[in-house]
Amino acid sequence: MAELKAKYGSDLIVDLLKGLGVEYVALNPGSSFRGIHDSLVNYNGNRNPEIILCCHEEIAVSVAHGYAKASGKPMAAIVHNVVGLQHASMAIYNAWCDRIPILVMGGTGPMNTSKRRPWIDWIHTALVQGNLVRDFVKWDDQPVGVEAIPSSIMRGHRIAMSDPKGPVYLCFDVSDQEAALEKEIPLPDPARFRPPAPLQAEANAIKEAALLLSEAESPVILADYLGRNNESVWSLVELADLLAIPVIDLGARLNFPNTHPLSLTGKNRELIGNADVIMGLDVMDLFGALVRHDASTHSSLPGIKPGCKVIHATLADLALRGWTTDFQELAPVDLPIIADTRVFLPALTEEIKRQGKFSKNAVEERRKYLAAQHQEIRARWQSELKRRWDERPISPPRLAHEVWEAIRRESWLLVAGGFRSWPQRLWDWDKPGLYLGGYGGGGLGYAPGASVGASLIHRGKGTVCVNLQRDGDLLYTTSALWTAANMKVPLLTVMTNNRVYYNDVEHQEKIALARGRPPENKFVGMMMERPAVDFANLARSFGISGEGPITEPERIRPALQRAIEVIQKENCPALVDVVIQTT
């Protein structure tokens, strides 16, 4: 028999990942995948895929989350049997809600109990391990026998990468990983297991949508995560330009340039309330966008005019699960369209042109009116910045402005940290991909790892990857800073450090007021002030350049400039700790 290249089941697994173009494997080590770990290092030389060592499985998965957002490609994250998977589950849930492809992999067993080590193999093996995350992955599998591994990995990759994308969990028996191959197992051709072409809308639905938009007097577009495909952003610009339709960016990605005169984010309630046609594009929570919710009475009032027609193009109905209700309240929609916005938008624009049913004069009138509204919103944010310029502690708009001034002449991107929309209001987001959106599932601990993953593809390019990092969020997954240092990513972490779990302070205040109890107790169990965490020192202890704590606004920019120099000249990530006001 000719000498085999792959000698063990785990060599085969690595060959398959390599064939699929997987560049990185984020992991925290564990004996349940010691076979795969050995193959990554000793069989494949730790290159393509390369190991990214993480100190917590939640970080490993969020690194893969950020990487997929920035690159459009899936990374593998390997998590140790039931224990690593439990740690990873929060990050898997975030990826599920955010429609992010990740090959989450793990080891288990041996399922043949006679081969188990006493105690540890028993407490770390589940029947079936995938049950733990089955409700929030697109698919999970535990192939039996080495011959079954290729189709499991090919199928997992294809499912993860088919829109709506999402994480999959693939679990490999220790015995299969460590089994010596008795015969050659042919490697499949990845080109024959590609994800399918994007789903186009039915022709009549495109015609109907085109007519509704063309004849509308006050149309509005709500865009939420169509910006996952950069080209869709330009398609949306073309459509909006054609009919002068205002676009509200709901923010799961950067969906529309905020510098464009039809960018009307900030006028949401007014525009939605006056619209006669609303088109949602990949909106995660359409119901929420169309109502006015009153938190004190737990009631939702209609936010749209009677007779307003609603169109929604989304693939959300193809990614439903019953365990959590991440599918949101059901919104009434007049024209529901299941389509990939990447192909739907260009077809819709063509159809509008072909029909030629819109009034050019009306469109030009609207364009002028909306451009003035756009200017007014931008001016409003600038005057808010001016008003809060000298506040002490430092105000969020002032910090957002200082960061913008420090990076605007660099090649930059905001890899994490919406920072209460201040960057969207004050920075120029003039092209797709400059902002990667939030955590998806609302689970804190996301940004530290995701920002490392998103920065990986920018190494050596002079790009400054900015993470506007909340303090509470960082304290869940702090050791991602070590992975950042270890991988030498060009990451600028700016702490928006209010020393409090602020979001929850508001809740405690509201409930105390509603119950006639003292609202001043709202900070109890919330503040992280005594002692205050020294984030600059924390960063240094992980091998990252650290500055701060900064409490004077004039000191922010020089510190940021030094940090950018360290990132660009020394290939060392940097953290700047800025103490800001609680609100």
Footprint of ligand TPP on this chain (CB under 6 A)? 90, 442-445, 470-473, 498, 500-504
Q: Is 136 helix (H, G, I), strand (E, B) or coil?
A: helix
Q: Which residues contact 338 (CB under 8 A, 6 or more apart)?
A: 199, 201, 313, 314, 315, 317, 318
Specify whether the CB–CB gap between 394 and 551 falls below 8 A. Answer: yes
Quick one: 273 or 418, whose CB is closer to ligand TPP? 418
Quick one: 502 or 542, whose CB is closer to ligand TPP? 502
Report angle CA 205, 211, 212 to the nearest 5 degrees. 90
Minimal distance in Å, beta carbon 234 to ligand TPP? 33
Q: Are strands 219-223 and 247-249 parallel, antiparallel or unpaired?
A: parallel
Minimal distance in Å, beta carbon 228 to ligand TPP? 23
Q: Can you say whether residue 356 is alpha, beta or left, with left for phi > 0 and alpha for psi between -120 and 50 degrees?
A: left
Minimal distance in Å, beta carbon 134 to ligand TPP? 20
Other C-beta atoms lying within 10 Å of the C-beta of residue 323: 8
Quick one: 435 or 439, whose CB is closer to ligand TPP? 439
Sign of CA dihedral 16, 22, 27, 29: positive
Quick one: 96 or 502, whose CB is closer to ligand TPP? 502
Length of the chain measured in residues? 583
Quick one: 89 or 483, whose CB is closer to ligand TPP? 89
CA–CA separation, 354 vs 370, rounded Å? 25
Minimal distance in Å, beta carbon 567 to ligand TPP? 24
Element (H, E) at 120: helix 120-123
Minimal distance in Å, beta carbon 428 to ligand TPP? 24
Peptide bond connecting 143 to the previous residue in cis, omega within 30 degrees of 0: no
For tokens 């192909």, name the residue: 343
**495: β partners:** 469, 577
CA–CA separation, 264 vs 283, rounded Å? 16
Minimal distance in Å, beta carbon 528 to ligand TPP? 8
Q: Which amino acid is at 56?
A: H
CA–CA separation, 239 vs 501, rounded Å? 41
Quick one: 105 or 426, whose CB is closer to ligand TPP? 426
Other C-beta atoms lying within 10 Å of the C-beta of residue 172: 29
Long-range contacts of 321-330 (CB under 8 A, 24+ apart): 321/135, 321/136, 322/135, 323/135, 323/136, 324/93, 324/135, 324/136, 326/96, 326/97, 326/441, 328/284, 328/285, 328/286, 328/287, 328/288, 329/285, 329/287, 329/288, 329/300, 330/287
Quick one: 344 or 502, whose CB is closer to ligand TPP? 502
Q: Is 201 helix (H, G, I), strand (E, B) or coil?
A: coil
Minimal distance in Å, beta carbon 504 to ligand TPP? 5
Quick one: 91 or 222, whose CB is closer to ligand TPP? 91
CA–CA separation, 121 vs 81, rounded Å? 10
Quick one: 351 or 471, whose CB is closer to ligand TPP? 471
Q: Is 162 helix (H, G, I), strand (E, B) or coil?
A: coil
Quick one: 442 or 462, whose CB is closer to ligand TPP? 442
Q: Rounded to the nearest 5°, which phi and psi values hold at 181?
A: -75, 130
Minimal distance in Å, beta carbon 426 to ligand TPP? 17
**Residue of minimal CB distance from ligand TPP?**
472
CA–CA separation, 345 vs 232, rounded Å? 7
Minimal distance in Å, beta carbon 136 to ligand TPP? 14
Minimal distance in Å, beta carbon 526 to ligand TPP? 8
Quick one: 385 or 468, whose CB is closer to ligand TPP? 468
Minimal distance in Å, beta carbon 467 to ligand TPP? 13
Q: Which two tokens stand for residue 223?
A: 């865009």
Quick one: 316 or 533, whose CB is closer to ligand TPP? 533
Minimal distance in Å, beta carbon 518 to ligand TPP? 21
Quick one: 177 or 498, whose CB is closer to ligand TPP? 498
Minimal distance in Å, beta carbon 539 to ligand TPP? 17
Q: Rounded to the nearest 5°, which phi and psi values hold at 301?
A: -100, 150
